[in-house]
A and B are shown apart, each in its own frame.
Chain A
Amino acid sequence: MDKMPKWADVVLIPLISLILAAALSALVILAIGEDPVAAVKLMVNGALGSTYGWGYTLYYATNFMFTGLAVAVAFHARMFNIGGEGQAMLGGLGVALMCLYIPWPHWSLALIGATGLAALFGAAWAAIPAWLQAKRGSHIVITTIMFNFIAAAVLNYVLVNLMRPKGSMDPATARFPGAVHLPTLHELLAPIGLNFSKAAPANVSLLVAVAACILVWLLIWRTRLGYEIRAYGHSETGALYAGISPVRITMIAMLISGGLAGMMAINNVMGEAERLVLNATEGAGFIGIAVALMGRSHPFGVFLAAILFGFLYQGGAELALWTTIPRELIVVIQALVILFTGALDNMVRMPLEKLFLALRKEKQA
């Protein structure tokens, strides 16, 4: 007998966690002498009040969808891939190589090529920790986090020594050619008469991210491979009994995970910056962990959580811009949301489960 109805698990618990996080954030804002109501208004307005705000919210959300899906897929195989950051960095390298050195006739072909190489680079970066886990038992949490640092160092080296245009002082690649410019939402929506903000960076990769959500859903719940991944994630001895190779599943799940994280680069590198800079990922790989946790590792949950975190990112930026609330506090608010929705899940869940049991008992009596 399940303890709670499903809707309570997927809707009510995250909602209550969010409200708790918001309440605590309000207290913190009060404590530094600002008005929490005004702050919320500013965040909502800034992130959702205009197509400009939406454009940024969706741009961030696109990043988080990719990295959230990456973490979610690994979770299903009971692996904690916290190397999304490094995998996304390598993905960026893949995108830059594709965009700079191949003369693409059209952006759509460039997008396919860049997506492919970004995924390949991300997957390759995940492959080494995966292999170490599968064959040597080195814990994936440790190795993936170490690979984040290595990725940053590799990127630094490549940008400074290899890909920096001659004479430039900036550790970044040259600007990508105009042919690989991805259409922004403004350009996409203009033909159908919608006027979307020109300045916002949200672009066609959002559609790729949504497609990725659907494909991951199909993979996990409709394919044989997804079945094997979930079985392995629930019970390793069970997998052994069923003839599901732990090495194979570990490798495949991590390759998919790394590939998804790498694909993020089509949004931030190709879609927004149009060149590869240092620290292009801006921590999106880590936010992906919170997104996956909050989304219960379900692609639809990841989709919603990604938009929420996009809102927090954009709204937070607005707060820092227009109030005396310091930028650090924005990080605190984001951290509180992560804390309540991810780490303190049981704090909300247990009392709620008890409540539902009591309600059910009353009904029976």
Chain B
Amino acid sequence: MAAVQRLRSGTDGWGLMPAGSTSRLILVIAAGVLALWISVSVTSGPAASIRFAALVVIGLMGARMLAARDPAALMTAVAAMALAIATAAGLTATAPGLAPYMVAALIAAGVSALRVSEKTHVV
């Protein structure tokens, strides 16, 4: 019902939670509480530092990749994400071997060397 009402009236676009709105404020508080709870959950027990680092880097770099438009910023986020994923491979009960670290290092090095053309081609 909310979606239909939003479709029929109001300004163009979704604009469900404009800056300063009550719903946005509530979401921010709820997200903060959830993040705090997850942080408490992952920072206890063995290998807590690796878990915490992997979660934070994956989360932040994921957000960066969604928000960024500049290829250089995106490539940096990709490199960090690859290294964080490889770090998370170390959380398994059995040793993952060198493969994830080598592949992540190759991706991180590769994206640093990759040149992206923003020219558009019509084929």
A and B found bound together:
no
- Which residues of chain A have a CB within 8 Å of any CB of chain B? none
